[in-house]
Amino acid sequence: MNLSALARSPYASVVYVAVAWLVLVPLFSISPRYLPPLGTVIADARSVWPDLVAGFWRTLVETVLGFVAGTILGVGFGIAFAYSRLLERALFPIFVALQTVPVIAFGAIVVIWFGNTIMAKVVIALYLAFFPVAVNTLRGLELADPQRIALMRSFGASRLQLFLKLSLPTALPNILIGMKLAVALSIAGAVVGEWFGDTVGLGVMLLQALYFEQIPRVWVLIIACGLLGTLLYGVLAILERRYVWWRPD
């Protein structure tokens, strides 16, 4: 086994953080209110393991559904905006205004519309995921090289062919950037969505931990949310490396 390669792998950073945690907390006798010992946090995670797994799964489902729906809508509107100035001028300012509305205010409406169903969380995750995808899709489509457009036109390409064979592939790296932003926002959306009332989920557990001031539990949930984010981001990174590896030149 090549040790130096192992030491550089992304998994190694988890070990580094864990070791630092194990060493530094007793070394500087950090108060458990600020940072509890790693052992305490692990023990706390084990004490609620089934709830943690159920919560992780539930929040994951909410995040993924919201993210996928937000991405589909975002790409759709990005395309519509790129091809219709009128639509862009009419709708884009509304979307910008919507983005400035704190999700808290919007969330209250979502609860009235959807109650405490998973749909409510999905919609909030969607609401946050949608915008970065739409903006980056629009920006990506605008990147299509005029010379390549001219080349395609000289081949007699139709508008649809131009879009499918040139504009969309050109935009894909940008769409991926939007999706990476969106995935983090979707998690935030799902967690905050759970704060509008639910019984299962990482957000619910976080709320309880804050309410009862269970500091080790808060750390357990921070790690769980981090894992969830890393997992989804990792999936996107793999998809990107495999299918969207080129960069606009």
- Under the rule (CB under 8 A), what is the footprint of another protein? 33, 48, 51-52, 54-55, 61, 65, 68-69, 72-73, 104, 107-108, 111-119, 122-123, 126, 145, 147-148, 150-157, 161, 165-166, 169, 172, 192, 194-201, 204-205, 207-214, 217, 246-247, 249
Minimal distance, residue 70 CB to another protein, in Å: 9
Shortest distance, position 237 Cβ to another protein, whole Å: 18
**Nearer Cβ to another protein (15/43):** 43
Residue nearer to another protein on the CB measure, 13 or 199: 199
At closest approach, how far in Å is the CB of 249 from another protein?
6
DSSP 226-246: HHHHHHHHHHHHHHHHHH---
Our CB check for another protein shows the closer of 13 and 117 to be: 117
Give CA–CA dist 161/163, Å, rounded: 5
d(CA 213, CA 209) in angstroms, rounded, equals: 6
CB of 245 to another protein, least distance (A): 8
φ/ψ (deg, to 5) at 156: 85, 25
The token pair at 17 is: 């953080």
Per 3-state DSSP, the chain is made up of helix, strand and coil in percentages (nearest 5) of 85, 0, 15
Q: Closer to another protein by CB, 207 or 231: give it.
A: 207
DSSP state of 145: -
